[in-house]
Structure 1
Amino acid sequence: MKQVLFICLGNICRSPMAEAVMRDLVEKNGLTSKIKVDSAGTSDYHIDEPPHRGTKAKLQEYGISTSGMKARQLRSSDLRDFDYLVCMDDSNVSNTIEMLRAEGHAKVFRFLDLTPHKKDVPDPWYTGDFQETYDLCLEGCETLLEKIEADL
Structure 2
Amino acid sequence: MAEFVMKDMVKKHGLADEFIIDSAAVSREELGNGIHYGTRDKLKQMGIPCSTHRAIQVTRHDYDTYDLLIAMDQSNINGLHRLLGNDDQHKITKLLSYAGLERDIADPWYSGNFDETYDDIQKGCTALLKKLHPEVNDD
Q: Same fold (TM over 0.5)?
A: yes
Cα deviation 1:59-94 (Å, max 9, x = unaligned): 000111111222111111011111010011111111
Corresponding position of 1:45: 29
> Are 1:133 and 2:113 counterparts?
no
Please give the alpha-carbon distance, in whole angstroms, between the structure 1 residues aligned to 2:106 and 2:88. Answer: 25
Cα deviation 1:17-66 (Å, max 9, x = unaligned): 00000000011011111111000110111122111000000000011111
Structure 1 unaligned residues grouped into runs of 5+: 1-16
Could you tell me the percent identity over the aligned residues?
37
CA contact (8 A) 1:79 1:102 kept: no
Count matched residues.
Answer: 134
TM-score for the superposition, normalised by structure 2: 0.91
Corresponding position of 1:27: 11
Please give the alpha-carbon distance, in whole angstroms, between the structure 2 residues aligned to 1:83 and 1:35. Answer: 10
Corresponding position of 2:137: none
Larger Rg: 2
Quick one: which of 79, 90, 108 aligns to 2:63? 79
Corresponding position of 1:98: 82
Please give the alpha-carbon distance, in whole angstroms, between the structure 2 residues aligned to 1:105 and 1:83. Answer: 9
Displacement of 1:105 in angstroms is 3.3
Please give the alpha-carbon distance, in whole angstroms, between the structure 1 residues aligned to 2:17 and 2:100. Answer: 29
Kindly report structure 1 stretches of 4+ aligned residues shifted beyond 4 Å. none
Please give the alpha-carbon distance, in whole angstroms, between the structure 2 residues aligned to 1:102 and 1:31. Answer: 31
Cα RMSD of the aligned pairs, angstroms, is 1.2
